[in-house]
A and B are shown apart, each in its own frame.
Chain A
């Protein structure tokens, strides 16, 4: 079984220190995640790739306690579904990223978080699909 990312190009594959791959506007400097072809502030189409900070602060969060409708949701459903948490994490002063969180308990707005890669599902070919998530930095909980 090999590990494959949920999508190509949205995070670097280093299992120790992965980073999200965002976009940065060459004209006005704004950072986005995911990357996009045009700037949401100045409408420039001169957008480049930009590696995001691995650490940030939890800005908003909730839990997902029932399986989202499938499709588009491709994760475990029925008895295999495990509730998870979702939030926006603010990375530096650059960008807020919507992300899974690694735990549903002991979450606090403003706590320090860091990026990890976590198993998401097993695909039809038996590959382990991994995705990005944020977990509380040790001692933050």
Chain B
């Protein structure tokens, strides 16, 4: 009896918690069921394709598919000197099959990423397959291109026998593998991607700063305006948001071009004597992006400002703070959750901009997305595109996490 009584409280506590869980279970299931269609939709149309696409950043099927026998033959090779005759025989056999299946070009293209000239070397062997005589193949290869005598070339083939490769990801952050497979900095003329990443961050930062500079005072005015005027001002802010991104960007092309409205106006007013280069410049890109992003920065700030009671400023003034200090020490700190949310939204959206820099910006203003698009559309190099997408995704997520750390998750009001 005593024992039962002694044990009763903790047991009751556990039962209570279990009972609560049981009681809440139907509600949780209902909530999950309601969200399920959207979840499935997102999984099928968004998460899964992106996930699959990102795996192409490390996928390395070409050598494995086209040169199966060569890979086996190279298995025992120590990599010190040119491999033995059996490897040459295997390569010739593989390439003969590749010629039949028309897969030699894909192999050449893939190997060309690793070492310039590989494409023509492979194609030259394929062209000369029929004229290859009896006897050792190694001298005949060397006769076509002396590089075949170097173990480095064979090392590349052996390295790419693996179904995954770090090549694309390393290239995307300006690193490469040398002949021995060690990771080294990419040669100067190929190390462009960190520069592009830096440029992407810089443009996104400039746009965020510009939208904050324009958006904060506007939000302040709207939050204080009488209902009718505030509604009209808000409409002015929202109107661009309801217009297609492409239309707005094209409108900026009309405005910014050399014979465009801005130049004509400046000339007519006599503010400038020659037409300014506005199109295809950093200035044009940032201006057009700022225009498009302004509502994203402004709206969260406005919603937070509206929730700050008017009494706050009055209290600060009555306690002796002049208007500016009342604003700066009492009002502005309270807008921080909105400022943080707005800036975060604009910065992250700006990182992924594609159309606007493509149409308004010059070659030196192209952002990460433009290069991803180029690799997909023009170069058909999906591995590189996926690797750059990975870098952008990781960058975006780390900035988001850093932001949460600095500002605090509970202090960002996205809604």
Are these two chains actual partners, yes or no?
Answer: no
Which residues of A does B touch, CB under 8 Å?
Answer: none
